Structure 1
Amino acid sequence: MKITLSRGALLKPLTYVSSVVEKRQTLPILSNVLLQSDGKDRLSLTGTDLEVEVITYCDHATGEAGEISINARKLFDITRALPEGAEISISAEDNGKCIIRSGKSRFTVQTLPADDFPKIETEQWSQVWKLPASLFKQALTRTSFAMAQQDVRFYLNGLLLVADSDKLKTVATDGHRLAKTECQLTSRSTDANIQAIVPRKAITELNHIIEDNDTEISVSFNPNHIRVELDSVIFTSKLIDGRFPDYEKVIPKNQDKSLIIDRNDLQNTLNRAAILTNEKFRGVRLIVTNGKMSVSSNNPDQEEAFDEIDIEYTGGNVEIGFNVGYMLEALNAINSEKVEILLSDANSSGTIRAPGDEETVYIVMPMRL
Structure 2
Amino acid sequence: MTDTALAFSIDRGCLAAAVERVSRVVQKRNTMEILGHILIKAEAGSVTLRGTDLELDALVRVEGAAIGTPGGLAVPSAEFAAALARWPDGVLTVESDGRRLTAKVGRSRASLPVLPEVDFPDIRRGDTDTTFQIPGSDLTAMAEKCGFAVGTDEVRAYLMGIYLHATDRNLVAVATDGHRLSRFDMPMPDGAESMEGVIIPNRTVRIWPHLLGKDESDPVQVETGEGFIRFSSDLMVLHSKLVGGTYPDYLRVIPRGNNQVALASVSDLTTAVDRLMVFSKDKGHGLKVAFGTGEIRLSIRSEAGEAEEFVPAECDFDMEIGFNGKYLREMLTTMKGPQVRLAMADPGSPPLVTDEADPRREIVVMPMRV
The alpha-carbon deviation at position 130 of structure 1 amounts to 0.8
C-alpha separation between the residues in 2 aligned to 1:4 and 1:289?
66
Of 186, 193, 201, which residue of structure 1 is paired with 2:203? 201
Aligned residue runs from structure 1 range 321-332, under 5 A? 321-332=322-333
How has the CA–CA distance of structure 1 residues 230 and 121 changed in structure 2, closer, same or farther, with 3 Å as cutoff? closer
**TM-score of the aligned structures, taking structure 2 as reference length:** 0.93
| Residue aligned with 2:78, SS | helix
Question: 1:57 aligned to 46, 54, 61, which one?
Answer: 61
Asked whether the 8 Å contact 2:166–2:192 carries over to 1, the reply is no
Structure 2: any 5+ residue segments left out of the alignment?
1-5
**Where in structure 1 are there 5+ consecutive unaligned residues?**
none
- SS of residue matched to 1:29: helix
Instruction: Report the more deviating stretch, 226-235 or 306-315.
Output: 306-315
Q: How do 1:207-356 residues align onto structure 2 when only pairs under 5 Å count?
A: 207-210=209-212, 211=214, 213-277=216-280, 279=282, 281-301=284-304, 303-315=305-317, 317-355=318-356
Match of 1:130 in 2: 133
Equivalent residue for 2:108? 105
Change (3 A) 1:147 1:190: closer
Aligned to 1:361: 362
Q: Which amino acid aligns with 2:223?
A: S
1:104-125 CA distance string (max 9 Å, x none): 3332211112111001142111
How far is the alpha carbon of 1:357 from its aligned partner?
6.2
Q: Contact 2:338 / 2:357 at 8 angstroms: preserved in 1? A: no
Give, in whole Å, the separation in 2 of the partners of 1:73 and 1:99. 15
Deviations 1:3-40, CA, capped at 9 Å, x for gaps: 121202311211111111112211000011111122x3
Q: Which residue of 1 aligns with 2:3?
A: none
User: What is the CA–CA distance in structure 2 between the aligned matches of 1:228 and 1:146, rounded to whole Å?
Assistant: 22
Over 3 Å counting, the alpha-carbon distance change for 1:332 and 1:190 in structure 2 is: closer
Partner of 1:181: 184
Does the C-alpha gap of structure 1 residues 300 and 15 become closer, same or farther in structure 2, counting only changes over 3 Å? same
Q: Supply the AA of the counterpart residue of 1:53.
A: D
Amino acid at match of 2:287: V
Matched, 1:88 2:89: no
Q: Secondary structure at the match of 1:194?
A: coil
CA distance in 2, matches of 1:350, 1:17: 40
Q: Compute the TM-score of the two structures, normalised by the length of structure 1.
A: 0.93
Change (3 A) 1:6 1:292: closer
The answer to whether the Cα contact below 8 Å between 2:283 and 2:325 also exists between their aligned partners in 1 is no
- Following TM superposition, by how much is the alpha carbon of 1:272 offset from its aligned partner in structure 2, in angstroms? 1.8
Amino acid in structure 2 at the alignment position of 1:260: L
Greater alpha carbon shift after TM alignment, 74-83 vs 273-282? 273-282
**Matching of residue 37 in structure 1 with residue 38 in structure 2:** no
Tell me, yes or no, if the aligned pair for 1:41 and 1:63 is still in contact at 8 Å.
no
Which of 71, 76, 80 lines up with 2:76 in the alignment? Answer: 71
User: In 1, distance between residues paired with 2:73 and 2:123?
Assistant: 18
Report if the CA contact (8 A) 2:227-2:242 is conserved.
Answer: yes
Rate the CA distance shift 1:244–1:212 in 2: closer, same or farther, 3 A.
Answer: farther
Offset from partner CA, 1:249-276 (integer Å, 9 cap, x none):
1111211211111222222222222222
CA distance in 1, matches of 2:337, 2:263: 12
Q: CA RMSD in A?
A: 1.8
How many pairs were matched up? 363
**Percent identical:** 27
* Mapped partners of 2:72, 2:233: distance in 1: 23
Alignment CA distance shift 1:103-1:293 (3 Å): closer
Regions of 4+ moved over 4 Å = none
- Counterparts of 1:355 and 1:81, CA distance in 2: 44
Over residues 202-222 of structure 1, what are the superposed CA-to-partner deviations in whole Å (9 max), with x where a residue is unaligned?
A: 111102222453211111101
Counterpart-to-counterpart distance in 2, 1:67 and 1:262:
54
The verdict on how the C-alpha distance between 1:105 and 1:288 changes in structure 2, with shifts beyond 3 A counting, is: closer
Give the match's secondary structure for 1:98.
strand
What amino acid sits opposite 1:151 in the alignment?
A: E
Distance in 2 of aligned mates of 1:329 and 1:154: 22
Instruction: Call closer, same or farther: CA 1:50–1:322 in 2, change over 3 Å.
Output: same
The AA in structure 1 aligned to 2:353 is I
